[in-house]
Amino acid sequence: MSASRRRDEHIKMTAPIPEAPSDFIREIVQEDLRNGRYGGRVVTRFPPEPNGYLHIGHAKAVCVDFGVAMEFGGVCHLRMDDTNPAKESMEFVEAIRRDVRWLGFDWGPHFYFSADYFERMYECAVQLIRKRLAYVCDVPQEEWKHYRGIPTQPGKPSPYRNRSVEENLDLFARMRAGEFPDGARCLRALIDMASPNLHLRDPVLYRILRMPHYRTGDRWCIYPTYDFAHPLEDAFEGITHSLCTLEFEVHRPLYDWLLQALEFPEPPRQIEFARLNVSYTVLSKRRLLELVQGGFVNGWDDPRLPTIAGLRRRGYTPSAIREFCRRVGVTKFDGLTDMALLDFCIRDELNMTAPRAMAVLDPVRLVIENYPDGQVEEFEAVNNPEDASMGVRPVPFCKTLYVEREDFEEHPPKNFFRLVPGREVRLRYAYLVTCTGFERDPATGRVCEIRCRYDPASRGGNAPDGRRVKGTIHWVSAPHALEAEIRLYDRLFLVEEPDNVPDGVDFKSTLNPESLKTLRAMVEPSLASAAPGSRYQFERKGYFFADPIDSRPGRPVFNRIVPLRDSWAKQARNAND
């Protein structure tokens, strides 16, 4: 029987229930809809703390939270989980909003700040005190671990556990009024000091902390803990499915306990999934902050960072990031994902959409000895072989060109089919040329000019007699070429899991010193009109993004998003050239 036929009549749906759920979260949501739980509503939330920029791991959570809501006709709230005054700021709030929107998601009117709930949270705490489910505790934080104990043995009750409701109400009010120093007292839930789950051994709900909050200023000197605040925020907003990462699984009994203790009629349910880990980078906000503040990278949008801002500046598209998240999927098992998967997604997309162009990243002059001085021809280059509707463009050709230094070898290795003295090669779209010689700079020994002769009968690059020419190389006309800055990126770290370096090792010592390489390239003249923020495939060299900030008219700056295939292995080799 189909899910839509089985669902109860009273369930209000704005979208059909998908027939085949693709993961366990969607299965649970579908089951709840079938059973009429939450009256058929699906309300999720994405709750970042505004203490840093979002990264690719958050993108996964965003795709899950917003994706599930959209698929089931629900809504997803964007909530700034700002109950901790330290390190939160409006800069981060704005960056988070920008990034979620850029990823393609819309929270409609449902944008919230947890700090707006402080008064209601305080009321909830008072309610718990009245129900004898919370008490003010004077045991200093450092001593509490002796009370809490270890999972296999019951803990020791706080000597303040039996305070009267009146005394607790009075002390809690005075905590709020600022009568006690920071850390002198806290409010604890009264749950179970023998529970094998340490989170249920009278966890802290409120602590005294004199620290101005970026939104509430110094109105408060007590702040709720995450464990207390989060379920309340979810319940206040009518969240149905609170999707979070696996580390919160052990907090779920406390989440449920609080909502039950406060008698919320339709408490949200928390469902955990595995967080995204990506190799050769860090996803901890603390470490990202350290890299940015310490100047190890050029700001939050450094294209080497796994931040959404960095990925955007590098040239990745929101659709490629969403496709990456879809392919990563939702599971209960932590794994390590290779960035190569994101590269695959962006290549797959740009192959269809990016216009081609010729750019010589490491230029060396090629002179065609028998080509008439001063003659200029124009060849037609195809803008995208995958999409004829993208048309063609003219590229000028003359006696002096630039070609890639690596496309010439005096003593070629096996399987080298490019420029070699005495051999013939095809200049893409133009002519067949045979290398006749080359010159080295006497000072450096580097090849500074290559010479060749062309076959005038091979116009367009086809041999008149059908002779076979294996190699094809790209080129630009030297007098017409435009100089461009090119930025090549490599992985930011040398080790697979820089987040997991052994104790005593500074993760920054594993940074890759060659993660950024800047080149002065010669590119075809049509790129003078490259709009900042546009993407190209430079033939044989990869996909590039006209940097939206540093590009100038007539002086473009291109970030390499990704090489054409097999990104890392090939890049590592190039870096060693």
For strands 356-357 and 535-538, give the pairing.
parallel
- Nearest approach, Cβ of 446 to ligand ATP (angstroms)? 45
Considering beta carbons, is residue 334 or 348 the nearer one to ligand ATP? Answer: 334
Exposed/middle/buried for residue 18 (C-beta within 10 Å: 0-12, 13-18, 19+): middle
Considering beta carbons, is residue 340 or 519 the nearer one to ligand ATP? Answer: 340
Considering beta carbons, is residue 289 or 382 the nearer one to ligand ATP? Answer: 289
254 binds ligand ATP (CB under 6 A): no
Considering beta carbons, is residue 256 or 449 the nearer one to ligand ATP? Answer: 256
| Catalytic status, residue 326 | no
Residue with tokens 């996909």: 543
284 binds ligand ATP (CB under 6 A): yes
Q: How far apart are CA 562 and CA 545, in angstroms?
A: 10
> What CA dihedral angle connects 59, 60, 65 and 67, to 10 degrees?
90
Overall size of the chain counted in residues: 577
- Nearest approach, Cβ of 263 to ligand ATP (angstroms)? 26
DSSP state at residue 547: -
Catalytic entry in 49, 233, 424, 524? 49
323-339 residues labelled b (16+ CB within 10 A) or e (exposed): bbbeebebeeeeeebeb
Considering beta carbons, is residue 61 or 171 the nearer one to ligand ATP? Answer: 61
| Catalytic status, residue 60 | no
DSSP string over 336-373: -B-THHHHHHHHHHHHHHPPEE-EESSEEEEEETTSPT
Interface residue with ligand ATP among 21, 40, 47, 498 (CB under 6 A) is 47
CA atoms within 13 A on the CB side of 521: 28
304 binds ligand ATP (CB under 6 A): no
| Interacting span for ligand ATP (CB under 6 A) from 45-53, 149-157, 324-332, 412-420 | 45-53
- Nearest approach, Cβ of 302 to ligand ATP (angstroms)? 18
Considering beta carbons, is residue 287 or 365 the nearer one to ligand ATP? Answer: 287
Q: How many CB atoms lie within 10 A of CB 97?
A: 16
49 binds ligand ATP (CB under 6 A): yes
| Interacting span for ligand ATP (CB under 6 A) from 13-21, 171-179, 281-289, 405-413 | 281-289
| Catalytic status, residue 145 | no
- Nearest approach, Cβ of 565 to ligand ATP (angstroms)? 27
Looking at the chain, the number of H-run helices and the number of E-run strands are: 14, 25
Q: How far apart are CA 80 and CA 471, in angstroms?
A: 56
Binding mask 5-44 for ligand ATP (x = CB under 6 A): ----------------------------------------
Question: What Cα–Cα distance (Å) separates residue 469 from each residue in 200, 214, 370?
Answer: 75, 67, 20
- Nearest approach, Cβ of 55 to ligand ATP (angstroms)? 7
- Nearest approach, Cβ of 330 to ligand ATP (angstroms)? 10
Exposed/middle/buried for residue 577 (C-beta within 10 Å: 0-12, 13-18, 19+): exposed
| Interacting span for ligand ATP (CB under 6 A) from 53-61, 174-182, 338-346, 523-531 | 53-61
Residue closest to ligand ATP (Cβ): 57
Q: How far apart are CA 530 and CA 512, in angstroms?
A: 31
| Interacting span for ligand ATP (CB under 6 A) from 10-18, 56-64, 124-132, 184-192 | 56-64
Catalytic entry in 275, 287, 428, 517? 275
Q: Find, among 202, 205, 206, 125, the residue nearest to 158 by Cα.
A: 202
283 binds ligand ATP (CB under 6 A): yes
303 binds ligand ATP (CB under 6 A): no
Binding mask 58-97 for ligand ATP (x = CB under 6 A): x-xx------------------------------------
Residue type at position 146:
H
> What CA dihedral angle connects 404, 409, 410 and 413, to 10 degrees?
180
Size of the site for ligand ATP (CB under 6 A): 14
Catalytic entry in 285, 322, 491, 535? 285
Q: How far apart are CA 537 and CA 541, in angstroms?
A: 7
**Residues found near ligand ATP in the complex (CB under 6 A):** 47-49, 57-58, 60-61, 244-245, 275-276, 283-285
Annotated catalytic residues are 49, 275, 285
